[in-house]
Amino acid sequence: MHKITSTILAGAFAATSVAGFAFAKDNPMVGGAAMYADKNIVENAMNSADHTTLVAAVKAAGLVETLQGEGPFTVFAPTNEAFEALPAGTVDELLKPENKDQLAKVLTCHVVAADAMSDAIGKMIADDNGDHPVKTVGGCTLQAKMDGDKITLTDETGGVATVTIADVDQSNGVIHVIDKVLLPAG
């Protein structure tokens, strides 16, 4: 039966690709929007109602072109609620033009220069006895761990984010939705 189900799913995926939709069979809805595997990270994030703050921050930091690039990138994407949980005034302060470099540092601490799906991250965690260091393009090192069947990331300040939606496939990588903003040390 598993083989039949796989064949049916593969056929359904091929049919949608031929029809021009290229929607990955396992891609979840994020922020009320379909995430399409033929769109890049920025294009999909812009459609998510849960990521309007992240998109505004990416624009303010001048990272749109980078994240629309070839990649591959793995982006741990904080929700609007994650940004709202920061101390009052933090987001407004970071969005000011004079703080562009600081904002870019925070955002690039959410980006890895690889296409890392959750099963690969889980294997790296297991291979490293439950605690895998993750180097980001912003120079931060996150600690990836498992909490039951969920991946968690501990930032350099000790803050812990949980992946709430994994494996949102993109044309230039993958997005994993997280529930906290990851911060660099100092």
Paired strand residues for 141: 135
Q: For residue 113, how many other CB atoms are within 10 A of its CB?
A: 13
Could you state, in order of their start, the residue ranges of all structural domains in the chain?
39-178
Predicted confidence at residue 26, as pLDDT, reads: 60
3 state SS of 28 = coil
List the chain pLDDT tens, one digit each, 186 residues. Answer: 333 333 333 333 333 333 333 334 466 777 777 777 888 888 878 888 888 899 899 999 989 888 888 889 999 999 999 999 999 999 999 999 999 999 999 999 999 999 999 999 999 999 999 999 999 999 999 999 999 999 999 999 999 999 999 998 888 989 999 999 999 997
Please check whether residue 14 is in contact with residue 21, taking contact to mean a CB–CB distance below 8 angstroms. no
Does 39-178 carry CATH code 1.10.10.60? no
> Rounded CA gap, 28 and 165, in Å?
8
Q: For residue 56, how many other CB atoms are within 10 A of its CB?
A: 14
> Rounded CA gap, 84 and 121, in Å?
27
Predicted confidence at residue 43, as pLDDT, reads: 84
CA dihedral 109, 167, 121, 71 (to 10 degrees): -50
Identity of the amino acid at 51: H
Predicted confidence at residue 20, as pLDDT, reads: 32
Identity of the amino acid at 7: T
Phi–psi pair at 2, nearest 5 degrees: -60, -40
